[in-house]
């Protein structure tokens, strides 16, 4: 296969970027997109040029490190697939592929295809945990949990935090990510004591970090490599509204 790659090149966060075209010959259909970038970088290094910077780690669709826009779609045209698991057989001989970084105010570009996604980590730090001491791990059947609740919790916990939902959303919202991280704890007995305060703290942090609001476009669900449902956003909204009402009704303490 022969492909033309148009890649966003930006040497630093304060530098101006542009799309640069590269002709790729002898592309194997079984190459992943990241392997194609590896080959391109080898060619650039041999020419004494700066290689393309991009995030990656496990390359098995687990860690969420990889991720950029491929021809206008987060992670590329294949559904339920991360960038590292997108293979060149999804494209045709002679295609032109455009690779750009995730675009969001909360994801500033660091270099080329690399963006700073630490804002997602700060949402987790605001409440995506259980603070109660649990001691050693209990037996698997010590706490009765219905299969339905366990399955729903696992569905939410599948989120790998890649940020594709933010990049796809026209508002740059992180609601699907936040909803998944809140729901996988809120569906379990261990997460109940802090359930509503967790929703309040994490949503407030999301807004503080500059993410937009959800307007139910559904683009986040469409590009999520793990198929996280927007039903979790509805669940988050219910928890957040209840937490907000409870906080408003609490009596003011005398100082």
Residues 204, 159 share a domain? yes
Residues 96 and 72 reside in one and the same domain: yes
CATH code, domain with 234: 1.10.1060.10
pLDDT at 250 over 90: no
CATH of the domain at 82: 3.10.20.30
Q: What is the pLDDT of residues 178-234, one digit of tens each?
A: 999 999 999 999 899 999 999 999 999 999 999 999 999 999 999 999 999 999 999
**Phi, psi dihedral angles at 234 (to 5 degrees):** -60, -40
> What is the token pair recorded at 228?
């996280």
- Which residues, including other chains, have CB under 8 Å from residue 5's CB and lie 6 or more apart? 21, 22, 23, 24, 36, 40, 96, 97, 99
Looking at the structure, do residues 141 and 209 belong to the same domain, yes or no?
yes
167 found inside a domain: yes
DSSP character for 161? -
- Same-domain status, 125 and 207: yes
Q: Of all residues in the chain, what percent carry a pLDDT higher than 90?
A: 88
Check whether residue 138 and residue 221 sit in a common domain.
yes
Q: Average pLDDT, whole number, for the chain?
A: 93
- 85-137, pLDDT tens digit by residue? 999 999 999 999 999 999 999 999 999 999 999 999 999 999 999 887 767 77
Split at pLDDT 50, 70, 90, the class of 254 is very low
Q: Judge if 158 and 243 occupy the same domain.
A: yes
Enter the pTM of the model.
0.92
Residue 255 is assigned to a structural domain of this protein: no
Q: What is the C-alpha to C-alpha distance for residues 247 and 255, in angstroms, rounded to an integer?
A: 18
- For residues 21 and 125, state if they share a domain: no
pLDDT tens, position by position, 20-68: 999 999 999 999 999 999 999 999 999 999 999 999 999 999 999 999 9
How many domains, the chain? 2
Taking the C-alpha atoms of residue 5 and residue 217, their distance in angstroms, rounded to an integer, is 30
Output the pLDDT for position 143: 78
Q: Which of 166, 178, 195, 38 is nearest to 121 (CA)?
A: 178
Contacts of 71 (CB under 8 A, 6+ apart): 77, 97, 98
DSSP label at 14? Answer: T
Domain limits for position 11: 3-110
What is the DSSP code (8-state) at residue 189?
A: G
């Amino acid at each position: 296969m022969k492909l033309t790659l148009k890649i966003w090149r930006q040497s630093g966060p304060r530098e101006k970027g542009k799309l640069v075209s590269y002709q790729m010959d002898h592309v194997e259909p079984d190459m992943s997109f990241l392997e194609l970038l590896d080959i391109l970088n080898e060619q650039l290094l041999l020419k004494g040029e700066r290689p393309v910077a991009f995030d990656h780690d496990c390359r098995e669709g687990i860690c969420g490190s990889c991720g950029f826009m491929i021809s206008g779609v987060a992670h590329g045209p294949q559904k339920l697939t991360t960038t590292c698991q997108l293979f060149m057989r999804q494209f045709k001989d002679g295609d032109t592929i455009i690779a750009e970084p995730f675009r969001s105010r909360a994801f500033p570009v660091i270099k080329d295809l690399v963006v700073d996604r630490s804002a997602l980590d700060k949402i987790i730090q605001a409440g995506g945990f259980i603070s109660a001491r649990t001691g050693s791990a209990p037996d698997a059947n010590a706490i009765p949990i219905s299969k339905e609740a366990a399955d729903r919790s696992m569905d939410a916990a599948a989120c790998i935090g890649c940020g594709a939902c933010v990049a796809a959303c026209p508002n740059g919202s992180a609601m699907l990510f936040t909803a998944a991280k809140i729901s996988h704890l809120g569906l379990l007995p261990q997460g109940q004591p802090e359930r509503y305060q967790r929703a309040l703290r994490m949503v407030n942090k999301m807004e503080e970090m500059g993410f937009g609001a959800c307007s139910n476009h559904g683009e986040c669900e469409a590009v999520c490599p793990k198929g996280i449902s927007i039903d979790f956003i509805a669940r988050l909204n219910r928890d957040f509204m209840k937490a907000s009402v409870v906080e408003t009704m609490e009596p003011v303490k005398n100082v």
